[in-house]
Amino acid sequence: MSAIVQLVQGSPEWHAYRRGMRNASETPAVLGISPWVTPYQLWLQKTGRSESTTNAAMQRGTALEPMARHAYEVETGNVMQPLVLQDGAYSASLDGMTLGGELIVEIKVPMRGRDSSLWKAVAGGDVPAHYVAQIQHQLMVCGAEKAHLWVFDGQVGLLHVIEPDASAAGAIRAAWEAFAVFLDTDAPPPLVDADQRPRDDEAWLQAAVAFREAKEAAEAAAAALDASRACLVALASHPKEAGAGVTVTRFWKAGSVDYKKVVELKGVDLERYRGKVREEVRVTVA
């Protein structure tokens, strides 16, 4: 059973609340189908390592939402109230819900209006999967009988009906449970192709060429170092020999501990003693 959360959408309190919840607008990223946010990027936001950003399209949608909702109400005769609802760990910030709770509306105001890919898709009866996932999450939280997707071009709207899908709700919950492991362990999800940013600017090209040349020189030097070391070791037959400023010493070193064989540690969760996850940088050459 969902409960109303008394927060104004867009307020600082609302943003703080959302950081600890499983939100409908984040579900596409959790499912790996968001065109804009990857699971890794969402993990950065949810753990406070980065802030979510807004762009011109999002700002336009927020500004025109009241007008779009009014146009929807005139078109359908439904009176819709924006609400924030919560069901356990799941939250849904609704653009509108009827008083009886049987119907919700999700408003989209694409920048290009009727020329947008969203308008054309919905006009053809096809809703992009990431929007379907968001709305199925909302239906799962609020328990409404159906949802209206209202695509508004600034003057008129296009309506598409979406009904609850139990299998979609199950997939959403399963995906969030899997994603929660990354949050609970403070370990990032794997990077995907969308996390890679291609670079072809001059500064990058110059730095990349310099790195590759330096790496090749370092590898050649390392190979020469290994070869000369092997030669010295082969020539040395005493525990310690020195000459021309170079010393070769033979010594005994204790082996490393195989903690899996320590009986006293059997059943002990060693992960509890692991240090916090830290960001490192790896540079590789294709």
Residue range 20-34, pLDDT digits in tens: 999 999 999 999 999
pLDDT at 15: 93
Q: Which token pair is 213?
A: 């040349």
pLDDT at position 56, please? 85
Q: What is the pLDDT of residue 270?
A: 80
pLDDT, residue 49, reads: 94
pLDDT for position 50: 93
- All structural domains of the chain, each given as residue ranges with its CATH number in brackets, are 3-194 (3.90.320.10), 198-250 (no CATH)
For the entire predicted model, the pTM comes to 0.83
Q: What is the pLDDT of residue 235?
A: 95
Q: pLDDT value at position 142?
A: 97
The residues of the chain scoring below 70 in pLDDT are none
Listing DSSP states for the chain in one string gives --EE----TTSHHHHHHHHTSEEGGGHHHHHT--SS--HHHHHHHHTTSS-----HHHHHHHHHHHHHHHHHHHHH----EEEEEEETTEEEEEEEE-TTSSEEEEEE--TTGGGSHHHHHHHTT---HHHHHHHHHHHHHH--SEEEEEEE-SS-EEEEEE---HHHHHHHHHHHHHHHHHHHHT-PPPP-GGG------HHHHHHHHHHHHHHHHHHHHHHHHHHHHHHHHHH--SSEEEETTEEEE----PPPP-GGG-GGGTT--GGGGSPPP---------
State residue 275's pLDDT score.
82
d(CA 162, CA 159): 10
